[in-house]
Amino acid sequence: MQASFPAVVISGTGLYRPPHVITNAELVAAFNAYADLQNAEHAAAIAAGERQPLTHSSVEFIEKASGIKQRYVIDKAGVLDPARMYPRFEPRPDEQLSLMAEIAVDAARKALAQAGKTGADVDAVLCSSANMQRAYPAMAVEIQQALGAGGYGFDMNVACSSATFALEQAVNAVRTGSARCVLVVNPEITSAHLEWRDRDCHFIFGDVCTALIVERADTATGADQWEVLGTQLVTQFSSNIRNNFGFMNRAEDRDPNDRDLTFYQEGRKVFKDVVPMAAAHIEGHLAKLGLEPTQMRRFWLHQANQGMNQFVIRKLVGGEAGSEIAPLILDEYANTASAGSIIAFHHHRADLAAGDTGVICSFGAGYSIGSVVVKKR
Ligand SMILES: CC(C)(COP(=O)(O)OP(=O)(O)OC[C@H]1O[C@@H](n2cnc3c(N)ncnc32)[C@H](O)[C@@H]1OP(=O)(O)O)[C@@H](O)C(=O)NCCC(=O)NCCS
């Protein structure tokens, strides 16, 4: 019955990029200074064999294992302070726009401008992100008000797949008529949930916010429109990427510094599990639409690991994942959770022509995989 639904397009994208860059060299210097401080503080326990010394991190390892060269962050000083190792944000009064809403509004305004729309044209706001700044009121409702949008807003979280899962909700809302123009925002303040003191993962994340405008094709006036041919989502439970932070921590008498209250993962297991899942998911989704992977002009993939994307592309089209097929943005942005595939779409679509098709695909914690097949109009 799909044929009776109106065509839906992505008519604008926007990107908030934080002001500060942390290079791998700066990051490693801060981590190594932290490790030296810790080892000096615990020298007696280390000498007595009661504690293992912390080992230095290395730029070479980070670049070889992940492809990440730098990341953007909202606060640099706190992250690089070896006596702190996490960002410092000023608490804001309830009357002031919250930080997460602020970066979402910035990205949203850019996406709206590209789509030739204003906030008043929007009648649904989905704020979808791996971490929310607070429990309630929903971030989306604050963003809705700041933009002068109507309709409704709600928050959702599917970790690194938050953006693609939100895109499906947006597309369905427009198709079925519950909204005419949906704003999807993905504010990812990953610096606040990354454990910068853990050598295994301190290099992984960066801050950013992406925004997308989803509307009926017959209301779209922007110059750059991408018809959504289909969306497909899948989840399969795994604890290999996990964060146990939550509202019950206080009741559990937890130390807020407990290691499992920030991001942790079994990176190698994730790599092995997710590559075949993602490739099969994309292939299955395309087959349902009567399409072949080799017909795709571009794959805008999740940005966690350069090697992972190369394996996915090799499984799909049998060749190397050059920037023409699967552009990488993680060298510049690092892993930005749900925003990664959207940043790739934002930066790397201008060269495609009318009729060209491609796949936006995320993969991450849950596990969760979401694919969105789009065609340039
Ligand atoms: C995280 C990731 C980059 C790690 O790369 P990896 O090749 O799997 O590395 P491993 O964790 O197996 O560690 C390999 C070695 O490097 C060492 N190492 C780890 N971090 C290091 C660092 N920062 N500097 C130097 N050495 C390091 C390890 O101790 C290990 O040493 P050993 O072989 O002596 O035991 C990689 O597994 C990955 O990206 N996985 C996918 C994760 C993902 O997609 N997650 C989604 C998040 S949203």
Contact 375, 357 (CB under 8 A): yes
Question: Measured from the CB, is residue 334 less than 6 Å from ligand 1?
Answer: no
Q: Is the CB of 270 under 6 A from ligand 1?
A: yes
116 burial via Cβ count (<10 Å: 0-12, 13-18, 19+): middle
| pLDDT tens sequence across 283-337 | 999 999 999 999 999 999 999 999 999 999 999 999 777 889 999 999 999 999 9
Residue 65 has pLDDT above 60, yes or no: yes
Q: Looking at residue 240, what is its pLDDT?
A: 98
65 C-alpha to center of ligand 1: Å?
A: 6
| pLDDT for residue 191 | 98
Cα gap 7→228, rounded to integer Å? 8
Q: Is the pLDDT of residue 97 over 80?
A: yes
Rounded to an integer, what distance in angstroms lies between the CA atom of residue 4 and that of residue 361? 26
Which pLDDT tens digit goes with each residue over 163-185?
999 999 999 999 999 999 999 99
pLDDT digits (tens, 9 = 90+) for 130-147: 999 999 999 999 999 999
CB 335 within 8 A of CB 206: yes
Ligand 1 centroid vs 203 CA: distance in angstroms? 10
CB contact at 8 A, 186 and 342: yes
Q: Is 160 a catalytic residue?
A: yes
Distance from the Cα of residue 276 to its chain's centroid: 20
pTM to 2 decimal places = 0.97
* 305 vs 64: CA distance, rounded Å: 10
Give all domains of the chain, ordered by start, each with its CATH number: 226-376 (3.40.47.10)
Ligand 1 geometric centre to CA of 200 (Å): 6
Mutate to test the pocket of ligand 1, among 62, 69, 269, 271 (most ligand atoms within 8 A of CB): 271
pLDDT tens-digit series, residues 354-370: 999 999 999 999 999 99
